[in-house]
């Protein structure tokens, strides 16, 4: 970096070298290993929520998912896992917590969302995969925080799945409440969504149940495959339509494509063998900040932008001055 910038950042004047000094690699590494990673995540998440992502129509939709850092191991030789929350569409991670080695990510939803305050008058919707379709999780999201949930139901909740399937099955003979056709990758996909009330379904704060059917066809019209997704939500008919559920369920998996996959392919996160102290979580937080800074500029080509900055580190100033 230019000496003028190092001076403004607080670099101390070195009389022997006649330059403003900067921290050594070892000093930076010690700081990253000993800093309070949870507090760093809280501060970084709050800043990214305020500066790096927009909220459509006063609704903040967050996707929850866990990620294993395959190259990092804890002191007890357990894999290092992080649970994070990403804003739909924006692709910005605004909350993250470490999952203790003696438990799983299901138990950390409360810890994660405790760090996500809702602005006055803002509606928050949480989407998660079937692992998080738990009664305690639903009670916390809606009952304690006042957020709405959209959760997928699978065989890990057999009674709930049977109840949802039994009530939704007659709907499939009627026209769908929402239909989307898309063409790409040499095939045609059609998503059909049916929504009905949740009367008689035993699950905390449930208001509606949803079936999404995806049919795939060749471009010539030949049928290829069909799959169903069963959904429960605390959103009522006035706030959560079939189109909303379809959009939120599909955008939920953006956390894999826009966050986890990007961190793995651009910064080789799974290959990093950082394991000492707070190092693994802090490095993941720095990658989340970098993603947020790039996307705050409306740029989605993360790998190309990273390579562009790597050729001249001064270019990072254009992203930092946001």
Least confident window among 4-8, 76-80, 99-103, 279-283: 76-80
What is the predicted pLDDT for the residue at 291? 92
As a whole number of angstroms, the distance between CA 65 and CA 58 comes to: 23
Please report, for the chain, the start and end positions of each structural domain, with discontinuous segments joined by +.
Answer: 35-320
As a whole number of angstroms, the distance between CA 18 and CA 12 comes to: 10
pLDDT at position 172 over 80: yes
Beta strands across the sheet bearing 223-233: 92-99, 79-87, 59-73, 123-128, 148-153, 223-233, 208-218, 187-197, 178-184
Mean pLDDT, residues 132-152 taken together: 95
What is the predicted pLDDT for the residue at 76? 61
Assess contact for 149 and 125: CB atoms under 8 A. yes
Q: Is 58 left (phi over 0), alpha (psi -120 to 50) or beta?
A: left
CATH architecture of 35-320: Alpha-Beta Complex (3.90)
What is the predicted pLDDT for the residue at 38? 92
Please write the tens of the pLDDT for every residue from 14-72: 899 899 988 889 999 999 999 999 999 999 999 998 876 666 567 889 999 999 888 77
Place of tokens 């921290």: 23
Q: Burial, 61: exposed, middle or buried (Cβ in 10 Å; 0-12, 13-18, 19+)?
A: buried
DSSP 117: P
Direct distance between the N- and C-terminal alpha carbons of the chain, in angstroms, rounded to an integer: 18
Q: What percent of the chain has pLDDT over 90?
A: 57
List all residues 6 or more positions away from 245 whose beta carbon is below 8 Å from its beta carbon.
150, 193, 195, 208, 210, 212, 231, 233, 235
- pTM assigned to the model: 0.89
Residue 135's pLDDT band, with cuts at 50, 70 and 90, is very high
As a whole number of angstroms, the distance between CA 134 and CA 153 comes to: 10
Assess contact for 4 and 13: CB atoms under 8 A. no
What is the predicted pLDDT for the residue at 278? 85
């Amino acid at each position: 970096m230019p000496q003028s910038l190092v001076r403004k950042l607080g670099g101390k004047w070195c009389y022997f070298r006649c330059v403003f000094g900067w921290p050594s690699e070892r000093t930076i590494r010690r700081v990253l290993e000993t800093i309070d990673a949870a507090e760093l995540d809280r501060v970084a998440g709050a800043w990214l929520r305020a500066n790096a992502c927009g909220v459509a129509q006063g609704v903040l939709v967050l996707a929850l998912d866990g990620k294993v850092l395959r190259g990092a191991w804890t002191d007890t030789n357990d894999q290092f896992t992080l649970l994070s929350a990403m804003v739909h569409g924006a692709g910005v991670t605004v909350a993250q917590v470490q999952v203790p080695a003696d438990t799983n990510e299901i138990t950390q939803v409360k810890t994660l969302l405790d760090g996500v305050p809702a602005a006055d008058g803002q509606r928050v919707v949480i989407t998660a995969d079937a692992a998080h379709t738990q009664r305690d999780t639903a009670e916390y999201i809606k009952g304690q925080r006042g957020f709405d949930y959209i959760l997928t139901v699978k065989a890990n909740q057999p009674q709930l799945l049977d109840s949802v399937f039994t009530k939704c099955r007659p709907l499939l003979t009627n026209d769908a409440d929402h239909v989307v056709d898309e063409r790409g990758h040499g095939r045609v996909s059609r998503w059909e969504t049916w929504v009905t009330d949740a009367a008689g379904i035993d699950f905390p704060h449930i208001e509606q149940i949803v079936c999404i059917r995806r049919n795939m066809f060749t471009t010539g019209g030949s049928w290829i495959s069909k799959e169903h997704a069963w959904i429960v939500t605390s959103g009522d008919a006035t706030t959560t339509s079939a189109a909303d559920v379809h959009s939120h369920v599909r955008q939920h998996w953006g956390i894999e494509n826009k966050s986890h996959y990007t961190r793995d392919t651009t910064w080789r996160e799974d290959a990093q063998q950082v394991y000492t102290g707070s190092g693994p979580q802090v490095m993941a937080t720095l990658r989340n900040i970098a993603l947020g800074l790039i996307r705050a500029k409306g740029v989605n080509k993360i790998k190309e932008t990273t390579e562009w900055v790597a050729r001249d580190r001064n270019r990072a100033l254009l992203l930092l001055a946001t």
